[in-house]
Structure formats: C-alpha cells, structure tokens
Chain A
Amino acid sequence: MKVQNIRTVSLILSIVFYLFIGAAVFDALESESESSRKKALEQKLNELKKKYGFSEDDYREIERVILQSEPHRAGRQWKFAGSFYFAITVITTIGYGHAVPCTDAGKAFCMFYAVVGIPLTLVMFQSLGERINTLVRYLLRKAKQGLGFRETEVSMGNMVLVGLLSCASTLCIGAAAFSHFEDWTFFNACYYCFITLTTIGFGDFVALQKKDALQKRPPYVAFSFLYILVGLTVVGAFLNLVVLRFIAVNSDQPEPPVLAVSCISFLLVPVTHTREQHRSTENTSWFLPELQHGRFSFLKSLQSIF
C-alpha cells in the first residue's frame, strides 16, 4: 500500500482510538458529579414549585422566560461593540454562542460572512505567524551572536521552546487579566483563555458579559478583543512552526513525513510521488536501508527537538 494511504489510515485509527479514550475518561470524571447535581437540582426545583404553588404549565412559562432572557441579562449584545465581538467569534471559529442571530436574515448573513471570513482569517493568522517566527529567529540569532555562542544557528528545538514559552505566557497574562476583570478564579480564567485561544469556545465562560461591560467599559472591551486576536496569532505562529509542515499540501508535491508515531512504517515504505498518479513509479522495496534523504533529514530534525 502506498505510504500516504498507510499514513492516512493510521491517522484515522488514532483519532478514533483517541476519541474512545477521551470519552471514557470524561465519563469517569464527570458522570457522577452530573447525576448528583441533577438530583440536587430536581429536589430544589420541587421545593420551589411547592413553595410558590406552580403548576406544570406555570413552571414551563417561567422556564421559557428565564432561558430566553439569558443573553439579555449580560447586556446589549448587538450594538456595535457586541456585534464586533460576535463577528470575531464567527471568523475565528471560536463561536461562544453567548449571542446568536435570532433573525433568519442574521443567520443567512452569518453563513455568508463565515464563508469568506474564515479562510481569510486562517491565511492572515498563518501569514502573521510566519512573520513572527522569522523575526524571532532573527532576534535569537542576534542574541546568540551577541552572547558569543559558538554556534549562532537557530535550531528547530530553539524555536519550539520559544514558541511554547510564548504560548504559556500568553495564557498566563490572559488568565491574570480576566480573573481580575471578570472575578473568576485564576484557574477558571486560565481555562477560559485556553478554550478561547484553541477556538473551541464552549461559552461556559465568556468575557465582557458582566456589568454591561460591552457598553460601559471600552478600554476593557478593546483589551479583550486585542487579547483574543493577538493570542490567536501567537498560537497560530506556533502551529505554523510545528504543525503546518505535517499537513500535506494537495498533491503537487510528495507529502512531507508525518508524525514520530508513523515513523517506523515510514522507514519501511519508500516515498512515492503523489502528484501524477498515472505517472508514478513506485519502488517496491519494503526493506531498509534505501533511506531517502527526505526521510533521513526528518529524523534529524526530530533529534534536534529532543
């Protein structure tokens, strides 16, 4: 089987496996807490119903009002500031859901807006991230020269380290700021920053939703927007450095090798050209040591990281 197919199949299998493991662990961590909370809430609800003498319909009405009021409680969501916040959550695909378009026209426009905005944003973050990486590489080389190192070349390992440090510090700065402004614990603020900057965006914690911040505290609003965009750039730079090379650009070139995990299979199967399938010449030697140089230097680059 061609190496690309093997690689793809192994990736699919790893993801499915990863999902199963994740599901099992989340089940173990959250299930009990969920059922005890559910029981407590049901009890509380029955007490309240009895206390105020609600019928089922009464309660349903109250519930509806409360659930629908939820976004309104946090302030005006669709004035310019709120709409800007919403637009950010759309094109960065964070998608908190703290405010969602109610009108059908809003939903339709949201879809068109995303179709253009998401690729634009992806390309922009990768572009800016690459510029940042280049600048960092330059600065690091100058620093090494200035400090009188013998080898002033900036290795991949150096870059990965710097990237990790900047991601961690971005997270910490955000956590400190939001825990102060939003009155969250440091841990919850950290969790919020992480979920935001990975663009997962659950919406269980959302900034700018307290005390009408969107309308009343413009400097804090500006800070939040800038933090999200800059943070995504830093994460994007790190992804550009580490992950992008593993993503196969569509079939114009032979694919770059993938993960250390599939390294072993890669060693045994020669690289083939994917570009012209009908013209490809496949070597079928399945045994070492016909190491292709591309493969070999990949291993070398792995070595330089560790």
Chain B
Amino acid sequence: MKRQNARTLALIICTFTYLIVGAAIFDALESRMETTQSLELHQRKAGLLKTFNLSTEDFDELEKVVLQRKPHKAGVQWKFAGSFYFAITVITTIGYGHAAPSTDGGKVFCMLYALLGIPLTLVMFQSVGERINTFVRYLLHRLKKCLGMRHTEVSMANMVIIGFISCMSTLCVGALAFSHFEGWSFFHAYYYCFITLTTIGFGDYVALQNKHALQTKPEYVAFSFIYILTGLAVIGAFLNLAVLRFMTMNTEDEKRDAEHRALLAHNGLAGGHINCSVDMASSSSTTPSGCGGGSAVGGSGGGAASRGLQNVYAEVLHFQSMCSCLWYKSREKLEYSIPMIIPHELSTSDTEAFSNPFQSNGCVCSQQHHSGISSVSTGLHSFSTYRRLNKRRSSI
C-alpha cells in the first residue's frame, strides 16, 4: 500500500481510538457527578414550585425568560467593544457563544465574515509564528555564540523546548491576570486560558462578562483582546514549529513520488532500460508516464555500467522514500548525510545538477527534470520543492 494511504489510515484509526478512550474516561469522571447534580436540582425545583405555588407552565415561562436574559445580564454584548470581542471569537474560531447573533442578518453576515476571516487569520497567525520562530532561533544562536559553546547551531529540540516553555508561561500569565480580574481560582483561570488559546472556547468561563467590564473597564478590555491574540500567536508559533510539517507530509510524499517517476522516465530516455520495480510500493495510480514512456523510447544507449549506476541510484531513492518519516524529523541532519553525488554521475545533460547540496531539501532528483511531470503534480503549484524545478525552466 502506498505510504500516504497507510499513514492516513493509521491516523484515522488512531483518532477513532482516541475518541473512544476519551469518551470512556469522561464518562467515568463526570457521569456520577451529573446524576447527583441532576437529582439535587430536581429537588430544589420541586421545592420552589411548592413554595411559590407555581404550575409547570408557569415555571416553563419563567425558565424561558431567565435563559433569554442570560447574555443581557453579563452586559451590553453588541456595542462596539462587545462586537469586537465577538468578531475575535468568530475569526479565531474560538466561538464562546456568550453572545450569538439573533437577527437573521447578523447570522448571514457572521457566516460571510467567517468565510473570509478564518483563512486570513490562519495564515496570519502562522506567518507571525514563523517570524517569531526565526527570531528566537537567531537569538538562541547569538546566545550560544556569546556563551562560547562549541555547537552554535540551534537544534530542533532547543526550539521545541523554548516553544513549550513559552506556551506554558503564556498560559500562566493569563491565568494570573484573569484570576485577579474575574475573581476565578487560578486553576479555573488556567483552564479558561487553555480552552481559549486552543480555540475550543466552550463558553463556560468567558472574560469581560462581569460587572459590565465591556463598557466600564477599557484597559482590561484592551488587555483581554491583546492577550487572546498574542497567546494565539505563541501557540501558532509552536504549531508551526512542531505540527505543520506533519500536515504537509502526504503532499510532500506525493510530490516526491511524482518527481521519482519523472526522473525515472528521464533516465529511461537517456539510458535505455528502466527498472520499473524501483517504484517502491508507491504504485502510481495516477500516472503512466514514469515507466511506460521510458521503455517506449529506450534505445541502445547506456550500457551495463549505467544500468548498474541506475540500480544503485534506485536503492538510494528507495532508502530515501522509506525513511521519509525520519527525513521529516531530522531534515537538517539528513541533508548533510545523504550522498549527493549519485545523480550528478547519472545525469547526461545537466551540469547544473545541484548547485548547493546544503540547500537541497534532500530530494536528489529535483534538479534535473522539467518535463514528463505527472498530472498529479500539475495541480500542485506549491513552491517549496518546486522552486528549484522552476529555476530550470526557461519558459513558464
């Protein structure tokens, strides 16, 4: 099975298992408390009905009024400050629900607003996060130099540790602030910050809902907004560092498969017989260009020597693709260790095979081919691995 398919299937199974295990644990933790609370509330309600001589319809009416009044009790929610707060909860997808549009026009605008705002916000936070990471990497590098350490390179582990520490401190700073301003316990304030900054946003704890803060305490309002946005940037930086590379894994693999197929086609044109079986388990369901095209054209060129080299090269490709997982994790290290020489010897036409091994992303064949790219990749105009490809093109 293709690696991407196996990976996707494994992830799906993992997630479902995770959901089931989580459900069981939440059940165990909360069910009993729920039953007790439910019983108690039932009793209190019965007591109230008797004390005030209310019928169930009366109570239902009261209930409706009380529930509808809930957002209003917390203050004016739709003046500018409140609307700004709401807009933040929409485009960051936090979505507390402490205030939700009640008019149809508001709902429609909310949907349109989210449609454009959410991708914009995603890109913005990732952009800011990447800048933060670069800056931190630079500072750490200078620090290491200053301290006179031998290895001044900043490793991934360094960055992850720093990212983790900054996330924790962001949460703690927020917890301190909100526990002070909102009168929550530190743990509850921490829980609030966590639920907010992961954009889950239950709405059980919401800032700026006490004592009409939205209208009467502008500095606290400004602090809350800035905290939410900055906190999300810090979390975004950590996600950008640690998680994003895994989100692009399938796409990168697909591109590499396409490049391999194209490279093999190219080499087949130049050197005759193509070792199709080299296409390691990644059976191309999408394109026939790799093996078929080559063998059709293959002539008497090359010889045993080039075939031998091709086999060795195929082995390297095989190794690389099998180790893509490792490759992603230690991309920096692998770049320096995979021998870059082999494609250079194989190439018959391109002298510019690779200009700078340190800049290659480990994809040894990306320098050489500019034709016969499978249709899989035509739709993929992503530039991270194709920019070197584009460098080779004289006309676009």
**Contact residues of A with B, CB < 8 Å?**
4-5, 7-8, 11-12, 14-15, 18-20, 22-27, 29-31, 33-35, 37-38, 41-42, 44-45, 48, 52-54, 58, 61-63, 65-70, 72, 76-80, 82-84, 86-91, 93-97, 100-107, 109-111, 113-114, 116-124, 126-128, 130-131, 134, 137-138, 141, 152-156, 158-159, 187-188, 191, 194-195, 198-204, 239-240, 242-259, 273-275, 277-278, 293-294, 296-298, 300-301
Contacts and interface: CB of A to CB of B under 8 A. Distances in A.
Nearest to A14: B120
Contacts of B53: 52
B375 A154 contact: yes
A97 B97 contact: yes
A93 to B, nearest CB: 5
A118 B381 CA distance: 28
B396 to A, nearest CB: 6
A79 B27 contact: yes
Which of B128, B130, B242, B359 lies at the interface centre, i.e. has the most chain A CB atoms within 10 A of its CB? B130
Given A84-B19, A96-B202, A245-B381, A22 B83 contact: yes
B106 interface: yes
Interface residues of B, number: 140
B69 A126 contact: no
The prevalent SS among residues of A at the interface is helix
B247 A65 contact: no
A128 B378 contact: no
Given A72-B38, A123-B11, A252-B361, A195 B95 contact: yes
B303 interface: no
B83 A23 contact: yes
A7 B124 CA distance: 9
17 contacts: A66-B66, A68-B37, A86-B26, A95-B95, A95-B202, A109-B26, A113-B22, A114-B194, A130-B8, A195-B114, A198-B93, A198-B118, A240-B251, A243-B123, A249-B130, A252-B331, A297-B383
A52 B54 contact: yes
A273 B360 CA distance: 12
A109 B22 CA distance: 9
B391 A246 contact: no
Interface in B25-41: 25-27, 29-31, 33-34, 37-38, 41
A82 B239 CA distance: 29
B20 interface: yes
Contacts of B251: 130, 240, 244
Contact of B134 (A58, A84, A277): A277
B333 interface: no
Which 7 residue pairs spanning A and B have beta carbons closest together? A200-B95, A95-B200, A22-B87, A202-B97, A97-B202, A293-B390, A23-B84
A297 B100 contact: no
A121 B84 CA distance: 29
Task: Name, among A62, A69, A117, the residue most crowded by chain B CB atoms within 10 Å (CB to CB).
Answer: A62
A131 B250 contact: yes
Contacts of A89: 200
Contacts of B102: 30, 33-34, 37
Given A45-B65, A120-B15, A247-B240, 8 more contacts: A29-B101, A52-B52, A76-B31, A83-B23, A88-B19, A101-B26, A202-B96, A297-B386
A28 to B, nearest CB: 9
B80 interface: yes
A75 to B, nearest CB: 10
B329 interface: no
A121 B83 CA distance: 31
B194 A26 contact: no
Contact of A100 (B114, B116, B204): B204
B396 A97 contact: no
B162 interface: no
B381 A131 contact: no
